[in-house]
Structure 1
Amino acid sequence: MAPYLESVKSFADVPVTDAGVDTLAFLEAAQGVVGLFERSEGNITKVRARYDAFPDQSSTLELLVVNEKTEKKRTATEGLLWLLRGLAFTCKALQLAQANASEELAAAFSKSYEGTLKKFHNFVVKGIFSVAMKACPYRADFYAKLAADPAGGPSVSADKLSDDLNKWLAALDSIVKRMETFYEVGGHSKGF
């Protein structure tokens, strides 16, 4: 078996064309994040349900959102919006962790929260997140888990892990920024 990042679909492998971001490939890569943090599963389920119900109208994330816009309830659009926000938070935190090898994950995730999710949360949720940041795993434990082979084989080197993680994060960041722009320009986040 391979280390974690090699065992899940990478955001670097998600096809992005002029037409948009491939829905199924994006969901497969996002599912890999669930294995890391298990927080986004409900939103992935909402987007996947829309894709499964209307695959021809959902081949890209953009088409999925546009085709759901005429409906009274835009469950997948809202789920995708929150999934993207969560992914932006995770991506920024891991980018901060990558940029500062001496910083613990709790500090990187706290800084990321300030710049990503905090503006969308009320007072109560902000307090919950503040407490949750203290529950972040230690940096060394987290990176060891990412480098480890779940089947018990040898771990990848720190350099290989760092290279793989940087590629994964760059691709995720690109997709998230693209979709944030799409939501903003199209007014797709209104009402949530």
Structure 2
Amino acid sequence: MSGIPAGGTWFDTINRSFVDVPINGANDNGISTTEFLEAAESLTTLFDLLGSAAFAPVKNDLTGNIKKVRERQQAAPGESETLQSLVLGELKTKKHVAAEGLVWLVRGLDFTAQSLRHNINNQSKELSDSFRDAYGRTLKPHHSFIIKPIFSAAMSATPYRNTFYAKLGSDSEKVKAALEREVAALEERVAILKAFQDRKEAKW
């Protein structure tokens, strides 16, 4: 638990929380690109806590898609303030590298959110059950027969529930509150992006 402040949780050590990712309700629920990508990067380090090399492909998948979105933001900063405007701006150029990257990033974050939500709501369940359940409902339907075994191996490599929660902090009530807050914020932003991606103008 190195790096966690006394009486704090792992969530106190990350660079950006999804709680701090602005949503512009006055502008089509626009989600701020810079903060969202920072929060997504921070969340990928959660897979390091799971302590298995089997999770490297899951983390690499997320970071690779973050990179695609960020490269578009850097190429056209003026129209990339929100993720929605970034996607619509790129699609006007007849390209969809970042738009597709964001689709996969949202799927990966949805998988993460659903895994953690399942585990929060089912306190007798081990992480492997929660991750397997969420994988079946999020990423698995989109994965090829080559990728599925790689991700399935990761689902089976999760540590015991108690081991994982202990890595998040020594005060279980604080950990529970911080995890609930982060997951709720992630769920809200994933839901907004999924609704946006379902719209005709966000497709290619």
TM-score when normalising by structure 2? 0.83
Q: Does the 8 Å CA contact 1:5/1:164 hold for their aligned counterparts?
A: yes
Gaps of 5+ in 2: 48-58
Q: Does the 8 Å CA contact 2:88/2:201 hold for their aligned counterparts?
A: no
Q: Does the 8 Å CA contact 2:132/2:155 hold for their aligned counterparts?
A: yes
RMSD: 1.5
Q: Shift of the alpha carbon at 1:132? A: 2.1
Q: Shift of the alpha carbon at 1:162? A: 0.6
Instruction: Pick the aligned partner of 2:136 from 72, 92, 114.
Output: 114
Please give the residue correspondences for 1:59-74 in structure 2 after superposition, counting only pairs within 5 Å.
59-74=81-96
Residue of structure 2 in register with 1:5 after alignment: 11
Please give the residue correspondences for 1:24-173 in structure 2 after superposition, counting only pairs within 5 Å.
24-37=34-47, 38-39=59-60, 40-147=62-169, 155=170, 157-173=171-187
Q: Does the 8 Å CA contact 2:106/2:190 hold for their aligned counterparts?
A: yes
Q: Shift of the alpha carbon at 1:189? A: 4.5
Identity across aligned pairs (percent)? 42
CA–CA distance in 1 between the matches of 2:203 and 2:91? 11
CA–CA distance in 2 between the matches of 1:27 and 1:127? 28
Residue of structure 2 in register with 1:181 after alignment: 195
CA–CA distance in 1 between the matches of 2:191 and 2:200? 14
Aligned pairs, number: 182
SS in 1 for 2:202: coil
Structure 1 pair 115–52 and aligned structure 2 pair: CA distance change class (3 A) = same
Gaps of 5+ in 1: 148-154
Residue of structure 1 in register with 2:52 after alignment: none
CA–CA distance in 2 between the matches of 1:108 and 1:187? 34
Residue of structure 2 in register with 1:152 after alignment: none
After superposition, the C-alpha distances for 1:33-72 in whole angstroms (9 at most, x for unaligned) are 1111233111111111111222211000000000000223
TM-score when normalising by structure 1? 0.88
